[in-house]
Amino acid sequence: MIYFDNCATTKPSENALKEFNKVNTELYGNPNSLNLMGVWAENYVTDCKKSLGNLLGVSHEDIIFTSGATESNNLIIQGVANQNKHRNPHLITQMSEHPSVIEVYRHLEKEGFDVTYLSINEYGLIDLKELESAIKKETILVSIMHVNNETGAIFPIEEIGKLIKATNSNTLFHVDGVQGFGKYILPIKNANIDFYSFSSHKIMGVKGVGGFYKRDKVQITPLFFGGHQEKSLRPTTVNVAGIGALTVATKEAFQNMEANLEQATKVKNKLLELVTDENEIYLNGTIENFSSYILSLYIKDVRGEVLLHALELSKKIFISTGTACNNGNNNVLSTYGYDKDRLLGTIRIGIAHTNTIEEATTLCEELLSQLEMLRLVKPNNKKRKK
């Protein structure tokens, strides 16, 4: 089995699982209980926050745990919007955000909030001048992702942060960090970030846990009510074991960041050999300023989903598509100006440092050999050669 869908989720690391097990065996108390078991659990969670704070370069008191990035993004965006409702606020995001961000903005827009969506250029990035002119006196929040989940485009977060604060010092800056967390250094303080969300299962932690950084003193309205956990922002019994696994996985990711990146880059470079005019395989985006962990390819005259199934059936190679078959809607790729054929013909390869060059070679070989068969059937609406 070859797993190349690491942007969707990853296999938990051995140490993360060990920690998960250990906490569930020995530290299963409720951190909010008055008894000693509760105290031990609470201390453990505080230690985890300290470790994460150190790695991210922020105070551990500013870290809030949630069920994952979707919840973090919802809590941040809705929390800021609702907190400032009475001021008739303006909000900004960009078109290629993850659904857990852009769908929240679309929801807020329906509720009557004023939202600006920045467009994406051919490099998968926003135009900073457009951002600057979009920021108004009433602009309360800007959400820009660190690394795009479909294509791997890396946004210049530090530059964006500086620009936002220089234009309006009251505007808050939210970064969805999921695809960059533990993979690329992002100095949160220097980049003027007020909110930074992350997830555990994308970096070999377990599913169902994540969190965010919230700059001290920024007030937001919670989504849930019913307890005082996580400063009343997230009232539910704390997922102690999940937090433990997240912390271990994060430590591993940060400690090995350079080596991991080097390995991912090697694998990506091997896969990039597929991109030739002769193969009629094209890169979505560019090589520069794109993450080494994500590769989005347009395969001409093949449906991405058909190729996906062909690879899993022949060699148990698991990849992802840009979009589901026949459903030409892809929020991200369509913002790049690609046509429907390109959206349907796109596959996404999610790379982890655990992937090897041999795996990449197998994928390349198998993909090319499948293509020969699959291209006999041209996707519909195309004239066949007689």
Which active-site residues does the annotation give? 325
Q: Is the dihedral of CA 96, 97, 103, 106 positive or negative?
A: negative
Only one of the segments 60-68, 99-107, 132-140, 378-386 lies at the binding site for another protein (rule: CB under 8 A); that segment is: 378-386
Only one of the segments 78-86, 202-210, 239-247, 318-326 lies at the binding site for another protein (rule: CB under 8 A); that segment is: 318-326
Please, what is the minimum distance in Å from the beta carbon of residue 300 to another protein?
Answer: 14
Only one of the segments 71-79, 97-105, 235-243, 377-385 lies at the binding site for another protein (rule: CB under 8 A); that segment is: 377-385
376 is an interface residue for another protein by CB under 8 A: yes
Could you say which of 54, 326, 329, 369 contacts another protein (CB under 8 A)?
A: 326
Could you say which of 95, 257, 283, 325 contacts another protein (CB under 8 A)?
A: 325
Please, what is the minimum distance in Å from the beta carbon of residue 367 to another protein?
Answer: 12
# binding residues, another protein (CB under 8 A): 21
Could you say which of 58, 135, 307, 360 contacts another protein (CB under 8 A)?
A: 307
Range 65-99 burial, b when 16+ CB lie within 10 A, else e: bbbbbbbbbbbbbbbbbbbbeeeebbbbbbebbbe
Phi then psi for 309, rounded to 5 degrees? -70, -35
Only one of the segments 54-62, 218-226, 237-245, 324-332 lies at the binding site for another protein (rule: CB under 8 A); that segment is: 324-332
Please, what is the minimum distance in Å from the beta carbon of residue 371 to another protein?
Answer: 12
d(CA 374, CA 386): 17
Could you say which of 121, 327, 329, 369 contacts another protein (CB under 8 A)?
A: 327
Please, what is the minimum distance in Å from the beta carbon of residue 319 to another protein?
Answer: 12
Please, what is the minimum distance in Å from the beta carbon of residue 349 to another protein?
Answer: 17
Can you give the binding site for another protein, defined by CB under 8 A?
303, 305-310, 312-313, 324-327, 374, 376-381, 384
